[in-house]
């Protein structure tokens, strides 16, 4: 951007207001660029207004272009003053963008998981909300991003009605196993072996038969403990009892 007179082709300095309007920046931003030494106007008017030369204008358009790809003002100054740093600056910024995207992806996964958990409750309490956060964090700890996506697809395939039905089945199954345990039923008794088969079927329904997800589930139960991993539904003694029945 240049301003010329009718009788000469020599570019005239551009006032700060005109430059701000042409670039879509604010006058305040240009003042800041001047203050930090990023874009220092070559001239000033008698009244002290900043006037920008053609070289200033070219530098500003470079600043705007680099700002649009997300470089910081400090990075832009380094790039413009030492052009050999451009590749490193873009590489560093790309790394930051990728980290940000990964953080956003994790946040999205966390929020989606919390929403799924909270929607199962009617008017959830603060304690239930905190529990949902803890459960979601535990899921993110033990399942890979690909596994979490696979589990989300599996949930969609099953549908909310089947999910609620499975939750009821789990509750009834756990109570049935607890009853057999209290009655002293041997783990290899026919009744317990039938309950163990049902247990395995529900686990496979959750994992979709994926061996990697099954291993992640087993790791979570081993490292967190049955009570924590099952949200208090299964205690360690009951888990050992079921394990013996599954091996019978």
Each residue's pLDDT tens digit, 181-202 = 999 999 999 999 999 999 999 8
Residue 85 banded pLDDT, cuts 50, 70, 90: low
- Output the six-digit token pair for 130: 């905190």
What are the structural domain ranges in the chain?
14-81, 159-247
Please calculate the CA angle 100-104-109 and round it to the nearest 5 degrees. 150
Residue 10 banded pLDDT, cuts 50, 70, 90: low
H/E run at residue 207: helix 190-207
* pLDDT on residue 7: 45
Q: Taking the alpha carbons of 223, 229, 230, 233 in that order, is the dihedral positive or negative?
A: positive
> What is this structure's pTM?
0.52
| Domain 14-81 in this protein, CATH class | mainly alpha
- Strands of the chain (E only): list them: 14-15, 43-44, 50-52
Separation CA 183–CA 173 (nearest Å): 15
Q: Which residue has the tokens 């959750």?
A: 206
Mean pLDDT confidence for 64-73: 84
Residue 242 banded pLDDT, cuts 50, 70, 90: very high
Inter-residue contact 245 to 195 (CB < 8 Å):
yes
DSSP string, 158-192: HHHHHHHHHHHHHHHHHHHHHHHHHTT--TTSHHH
Backbone phi, psi, residue 48, to 5°: 95, 0
* Per-residue pLDDT at 79 exceeds 80: yes
The H-assigned helical ranges of 69-144 are: 73-81, 86-119, 126-142
Of residues 210 and 117, more confidence is placed in: 210
Q: Taking the alpha carbons of 60, 62, 65, 71 in that order, is the dihedral positive or negative?
A: negative
Of residues 80 and 10, more confidence is placed in: 80
Highest mean predicted confidence (pLDDT) among 87-96, 149-158, 172-181? 172-181
Separation CA 129–CA 23 (nearest Å): 48
């Amino acid at each position: 951007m240049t301003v010329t007179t009718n009788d000469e082709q020599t570019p005239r300095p551009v006032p700060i207001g005109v430059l701000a309007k042409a670039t879509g920046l604010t006058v305040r931003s240009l003042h800041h660029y001047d203050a930090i030494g990023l874009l220092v106007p070559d001239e000033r008017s008698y009244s002290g207004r900043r006037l920008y030369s053609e070289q200033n204008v070219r530098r500003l358009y470079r600043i705007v272009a680099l700002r649009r790809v997300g470089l910081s003002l400090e990075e832009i100054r380094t790039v413009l003053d030492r052009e050999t740093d451009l590749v490193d600056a873009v590489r560093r910024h790309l790394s930051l963008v990728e980290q940000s995207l990964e953080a956003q992806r994790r946040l999205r996964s966390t929020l989606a998981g919390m929403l799924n958990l909270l929607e199962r409750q009617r008017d959830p309490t603060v304690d239930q909300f905190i529990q949902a956060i803890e459960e979601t964090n535990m899921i993110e700890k033990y399942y890979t991003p690909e596994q979490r996506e696979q589990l989300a697809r599996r949930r969609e395939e099953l549908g909310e009605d089947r999910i609620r039905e499975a939750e009821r089945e789990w509750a009834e199954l756990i109570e049935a196993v607890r009853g057999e345990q209290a009655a002293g039923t041997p783990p290899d008794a026919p009744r317990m072996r039938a309950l163990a088969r049902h247990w395995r079927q529900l686990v496979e329904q959750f994992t979709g038969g994926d061996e990697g997800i099954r291993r992640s589930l087993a790791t979570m139960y081993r490292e967190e403990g049955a009570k924590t991993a099952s949200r208090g539904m299964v205690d360690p003694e009951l888990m050992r009892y079921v394990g013996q029945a599954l091996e019978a």
